[in-house]
Amino acid sequence: MAAVEVKVPDIGDFDEVAVIEVLVKPGDTVKAEQSLITVESDKASMEIPSSAAGVVKEVKVNVGDKVKEGSIVLILEGEGAGAPAATAPAPAEAPAPAAQAAAPAP
């Protein structure tokens, strides 16, 4: 299992923004693009998404912290945790359309 550092992406013209909400905790399973934290500038608030899927190993920020582009938000256990989560829905989805297609036919 590889550890993946999830960092704050480009947040526009802001140098630093305050963390106003942490949406995950260690042990949580997250999907790619799932919101991890909410940050706020003078003008707006925005949610920072995960760049990868996996299980949260360690959260590196707290409410009230200031973050900027490149700041580490959390550490994910990537490969082993992310792969089963990514493959598990596919088999579940495949039979569903077949069942729906078969149901209207008769």
Confidence category of residue 86, pLDDT binned at 50, 70, 90:
very low
Q: DSSP class of residue 50?
A: P
User: For 23-36, what is the mean pLDDT?
Assistant: 96
The domains located in the chain, with CATH, are 3-102 (2.40.50.100)
Per-residue pLDDT, 11: 85
Note if the pTM is more than 0.85. no
Residue 10 C-beta-side C-alpha neighbours within 13 Å: 2
Region 51-72: mean pLDDT is 96
Name the band, by pLDDT with cuts 50, 70 and 90, for residue 93.
very low
Q: What is the DSSP string of 35-46?
A: EEEEEE-SS-EE
Q: Would you say residue 105 has pLDDT above 80? A: no
